[in-house]
Amino acid sequence: MVLSVVRQVILVLIDHIRKGIEELARREFRKLLKITVLAAVGLIFVSLGFVYLGISAVEYLSFTIPSWLAWAMVGLTTALLGLIFLLWAFLQTRS
């Protein structure tokens, strides 16, 4: 009799703990999903901004230098900027 009451109390406690953990995991997952979506949207807008900036730079440089050289300069500058960001991100994950 006493053993079954203790067992029921333990089962109720385990059930409450399980529900609490599930709710916490659900809340944290939603928070992580929101941050991920915002980061992805931000990355898309930043990428589009760099594309338009690069095209504008090429158009501006084409007035003074040949078009192929303008494209090469903007491409190399963008590649170097991307490499700097990649190295910075890599160093951030190492520390």
Per-residue pLDDT 10s for the chain (95 aa) are: 777 888 888 999 999 999 999 999 999 999 989 988 888 888 888 888 888 888 999 999 889 999 888 888 988 888 888 888 888 878 877 76
Does this model's pTM top 0.75? My answer is no
The two tokens of residue 22 are 């599930």
Q: 31 is in which domain, residue-wise?
A: 2-94
Query: 80: which 2 tokens?
Result: 């170097």
Name residue 18's amino acid.
Answer: R
Closest C-alpha among 39, 58, 40 to residue 50: 58
Number of structural domains in the chain: 1
Confidence (pLDDT) at 48:
87
- Tokens representing 42? 């931000």
How many Cα atoms are found within 13 Å in the side-chain-facing hemisphere of 62? 9
